[in-house]
Chain A
Amino acid sequence: MRLMRYLLSALLLYSGQASAECLTRGTGDMGIVIERAAGSVQVVDRRAHRALFRIEGLGDLSHASAVYSPDERYAYIFGRDGGLTRLDILCGTITHRIVQGGNSIGGAISQDGNLIAVSNYEPGGVKVFAASDLRLVADIPATPVNSEKRSKTVGLVDAGEQRFVYSLYDTGETWILDMSDPANPVIQKHEKIGQLPYDALITRDGRYYIAGLFGQDGLALLDLWHPERGTRLILEDYGKGEQKLPVYKMPHLEGWAMAGNRAFLPGVGHHQVLVVERGEWNTLAKIPVYGQPVFVMARPDGRQIWVNFAFPDNDTIQVIDTETLKVVKTLKPGKGALHMEFAPRGEEVWISIRDKDEVQVYDTRKLQLTHTLPVAKPSGIFFTARAHTTGL
């Protein structure tokens, strides 16, 4: 009898493992959600609104981000503690994991999908790895600040022609790293771009690289069609004469929203979303919002902008109509609304609610909550469609 039970449970265990074997399906409607405190990741089915796998052992995932391989099968997770992990989302497993630096802040995948670049605060610089097995390909130290320390690198993005672009926080530079020949990286340095660049974005078409500056007004713009022209300051007059509020969470530029010819971006130190005309980069309007914006994201069709806010207003989400430039909805999803991710065609948006330990899914047409998923201290949400977008 006892033997029977043993056999039965062994069988169950085995079948449990067998069902944890690789899925046979497409990955186009899948994604991952970071569980920042637990150091784990949930692999989700975005259309069924459910978790498929939970993968543990990824280290410190505060501020973690992810990119996808071109075939949408592998996710590369960049952890705060310098961890770089390659996940197989069809199998729910870690295929490779390294700790490549002491303290890092995001990464990018090259245009051809063969290289992964990671930006490090400590020791400051960028490292490039082979996407297939995370073998080190290049190590590019940043400018020294003093005998012990090198500048932190921030705002790392991928650009066309096998380039990576990033900025140096302490020394105010933007570097273009050309990895066309992986054995011979070529660096083009733009110095004196402005004080304390803290994050950056690249426009969807890969043309403009824009770094936010903390130490002064304005943003530094680099036209990647004409890098020889250098960076120039835009929106220098933004916020002049207005009292700047303290910033309790740095805004993210990655989600910079473009809708038609207009860009929507967070007003640093202001309860405003800025509307800027692309090309001339003049301010067209300032939309008053509930708090200091962190992510300002456009629904993929450009009709709506969704905004979340810094502490202490991070219990609120607002939706702006891009035609009227008015807030059309204020949602109170719960404290710690940290991250938003749209379905690639925009019918839904997923929002991480840290303090409720859940991800909420909203119908973007009705602006209503439709689903919730239990996720421990969720932060970043990344759908596989990012595989095909420059800068994501």
Chain B
Amino acid sequence: MPRTIAVMTALLIAASSAAVAADVPPQRQAELRYLLKHDCGSCHGMRLEGGLGPALTARRLAPYGVDFLALTIIQGRPGTPMPPWRPFISEPEAQWLATQLKQGIRP
């Protein structure tokens, strides 16, 4: 039974991230990857291994949910240098980015 649940969850996650990816056209995905490397990279490190901001590796982000991370990207963290990206990144795009980060993307 736990096994079925795990499989179901895995399927659900796969399905939801596929849905998210479908919302973000490939051209835009490439732009976001470039942004992640160079513009997020100026604080998080070009390899996302950390800088002034924390590392955004899959291992470090494991405790956080995609929604929470997407919200951080959209709203920023007031009182810290993490700026709100709302003017440049839509919510589905933030979801896509957060999913990529959770999956360990290396831009």
Task: Give every chain A residue within 8 A of B76 (Cβ-Cβ).
Answer: 246
Taken together as a complex, chains A and B put the C-alpha atoms of A103 and B60 apart, in Å, by 15
Q: Is the CB of B47 within 8 A of A250?
A: no
- Which residues from B are CB-within-8-Å of A46? none
* Contact, CB under 8 Å: A121 / B50: yes
Q: Chain A interface: which of B6-14, B35-43, B64-72, B95-103?
A: B35-43
- Bound: A60/B51 CA distance, A: 12
Contact of B84 among A62, A105, A121, A246 (CB under 8 A): A246
Q: Is the CB of A80 within 8 A of B46?
A: yes
* Interface: A270 (CB within 8 A): no
Return A127 CB to nearest CB of chain B, in Å: 18
B45 touches A60 (CB 8 A): yes
Say whether B51 contacts A105, CB under 8 Å: yes
The answer to whether A121 touches B51 (Cβ under 8 A) is yes
Known: A80-B46, A121-B52, A169-B52. A62 touches B79 (CB 8 A): no
B50 A103 Cβ-Cβ under 8 A: yes
- Chain B residue with minimal CB distance to A248? B83
Q: Which residues of B contact A354 (CB under 8 A)?
A: 38
Over the window 212-231 of chain A, the binary record of Cβ atoms lying under 8 Å from chain B Cβ atoms (1 yes, 0 no) is: 00110000000000000000
Q: Is the CB of A37 within 8 A of B39?
A: no
Nearest B residue to A59 via CB reads B47
User: In the complex, A62→B46 CA distance in Å?
Assistant: 6
* Least Cβ–Cβ distance between A239 and chain B, in angstroms: 16
Q: Which one of B46, B81, B83 contacts A60 once the chains associate, using CB atoms below 8 Å? A: B46
CB distance A312 to B45 under 8 Å? no
Is B81 in contact with A37, judged by CB distance below 8 angstroms? no
- Closest B residue to A36 by CB, please name it: B46
Residue A150 lies at the interface, judged by CB distance under 8 Å to chain B: no
Contact call A336/B50, Cβ cutoff below 8 A: no
In the bound complex, residues from chain B placing their C-beta under 8 Å from that of A36 are 46
Inter-chain contact total with CB atoms closer than 8 Å: 61
Kindly identify which residue among A169, A215, A250, A312 contacts B88, using a CB–CB cutoff of 8 Å: A312
Confirm or deny: A313 has a beta carbon within 8 angstroms of a beta carbon on chain B.
no
A354 to B45, CA, bound (A): 16
Whether B52 lies near A198 (C-beta < 8 A) is yes
What separation, in Å, do the CA atoms of A111 and B88 have in the docked complex? 45
* Distance to closest chain A CB from B84 (angstroms): 6
- Residues from chain B with a CB closer than 8 A to the CB of A60 are 45-47, 49
| Residue A173 interfacial (CB < 8 Å) | no
How near does chain A come to B53, taking the closest CB pair, in angstroms?
10
Contact yes or no, A122 B39, CB < 8 A: no
B42 and A63 form a contact (CB under 8 A): yes
Give the contacting residue for A103; candidates B51, B80, B81, B84; CB below 8 A.
B51
Rounded to whole angstroms, the CA-CA distance of A312 and B31 in the bound complex is: 13
Q: How far is it, in angstroms, between the C-alpha of A180 and the C-alpha of B29 when the chains are bound?
A: 53
| A299 CB within 8 Å of chain B | no
Q: A362: CB under 8 A from chain B?
A: no
Whether B52 pairs with A247 at a CB distance below 8 angstroms is no
Q: Say whether, besides A80-B45, A215-B79, A248-B83, A63 and B88 are in contact (CB < 8 Å).
A: no
Most buried by A among B39, B46, B50, B83: B46
Contact of A53 with B by CB under 8 A: no
- Tell yes or no: A311 within 8 A of B by CB: yes
Q: For residue B50, which residues in chain A have a CB less than 8 angstroms away from its CB?
A: 103, 121-122
Query: What 0/1 readout, one digit per residue, does chain A (247-278) give for beta carbons within 8 Å of chain B?
Result: 11110000000000000000000000000000
Q: List 18 A-B contacts (CB under 8 A).
A: A36-B46, A60-B46, A60-B47, A62-B42, A62-B45, A62-B46, A63-B46, A80-B45, A103-B45, A105-B52, A122-B50, A152-B52, A154-B52, A215-B79, A246-B84, A247-B81, A249-B42, A354-B38
B interface with A by C-beta (< 8 Å): 37-39, 41-43, 45-47, 49-52, 76, 79-81, 83-84, 88
The 10 A-B pairs at the shortest CB distance, nearest first, are namely A62-B46, A246-B83, A311-B39, A103-B50, A249-B42, A248-B83, A246-B84, A214-B81, A60-B47, A62-B41
